[in-house]
Amino acid sequence: RRQQEEALRQSEEHFRLLVEGVTDYAIFMLDPNGYVLTWNPGAQRIKGYQADEIIGQHFTRFYPPEAVQAGWPEHELQVAAEQGRFEDEGWRVRKDGSQFWANVVISALHDDSGRLRGFAKLTRDLSERKRAEALRLEGSQRDEMLDAERNARIEAQHTARMKDEFLATLSHELRTPLSAI
């Protein structure tokens, strides 16, 4: 038993060292409602918040206002909870208000009984890649493309949310008559 406990302690220590040693990725956990539970040095470097500033805060602060208004952050958690995983690329917001292009992966975390315990969120700053792509395009063409891309993303987010709401309503409406049968 002591050997098992020691092996578990060492395994937990190795995992902690791994997460704390990664600085190219923001790695943190969210509770089931989207509040930040943990924060690694990569998250601090990429997003600009110290752990004591952000732990306990809702993760919507990492999204541009139009994405929050469209319900996109909640949609991401909903999809991750239903499908186990969600991946996206889009604009995110740092502590100083600047925006950066990010690749985000959210994984649902369940306990042994299958109960949702929260989410692991991994974010990578892809701003340099996005800038390189933008430099290849010329002035006004670049601005038009970025505006169109932002508008298309907002529309896609809104459409995805409406689809999910429709499916949830349909599922509920079908379940009621079927229960009686």
Strands 116-125 and 25-30 turn out to be antiparallel
DSSP letters, 127-151, are HHHHHHHHHHS-HHHHHHHHHHHHH
pLDDT attached to residue 123: 96
pLDDT by 10s per residue, the chain, length 181: 888 888 878 877 877 777 677 778 999 999 999 999 999 999 999 999 999 999 999 999 999 999 999 999 999 999 999 999 999 999 999 999 999 999 999 999 999 999 999 999 999 999 888 888 777 766 667 677 778 888 888 888 888 888 888 887 777 777 666 666 6
pTM of the entire structure?
0.67
**Residue 107: both structure tokens together:** 């994984």
Question: What pLDDT sits at residue 178?
Answer: 62
State the Cα–Cα distance between residues 156 and 2, nearest whole angstrom: 54
The β-bridge relationship of strands 116-125 and 85-93 is unpaired
User: Is the C-alpha dihedral spanning 84, 88, 92, 95 positive or negative?
Assistant: positive
Residue 164 is predicted with a pLDDT of 85
